[in-house]
Amino acid sequence: MRICACCRRPRSPRIDAEDHEIGIAPRQRRGLEIISTAVWRILAPVGLASFRVVSMLLEFDQRSDALHLPMWIPQSVVPLSLFLIILNVAASRRRPGHRGG
C-alpha cells in the first residue's frame, strides 16, 4: 500500500506552500511584495469611493426597473469584495515567517 507524499509529512498539507517549496527567489519575492502593496493602496480609495456610491443609492432609495429591487444590495458587492481583497493581502503580509515590510 502506497502513502501519498503529503501524508508522510508530519505537518498537514497546506494550499499555500512556503517560498522555498515553490522556488521563489528573493528578487521575485520583493517584486511580489511591491505588487501587493500597490494592490491595497489602489483598492483602498476605490473601495471607499464605491462605499460612498452604495450609501448614496441607499439614501436615494434607487430601485431597479425590472425587479424593483433596491440597487444598493447588488452594488454593495463591489465594496465588500474590495474590502475582502484588502484583508486577504494584509493577512498574507502578516503571516508568521513572512519576510518583508
Q: Is 4 inside a domain boundary?
A: no
How would you class 47 by CB atoms within 10 Å of its CB: exposed for 0-12, middle for 13-18, buried for 19 or more?
buried
- State the pLDDT at residue 29: 79
pTM above 0.75?
no
Contact 84, 40 (CB under 8 A): no
Answer whether residue 9 is part of any domain.
Answer: no
Q: Is 86 part of any domain? A: yes
21: left (phi > 0), else alpha (psi -120 to 50), else beta?
A: alpha
Q: Flag whether 40 is in a domain.
A: yes
CA distance 98 to 101: 9
Please give the tally of structural domains in the chain. 1
Encode pLDDT of 19-34 as tens digits: 455 667 777 878 888 8
Can you tell me the distance from the alpha carbon of 45 to that of 14, in angstroms, rounded to the nearest whole number? Answer: 33
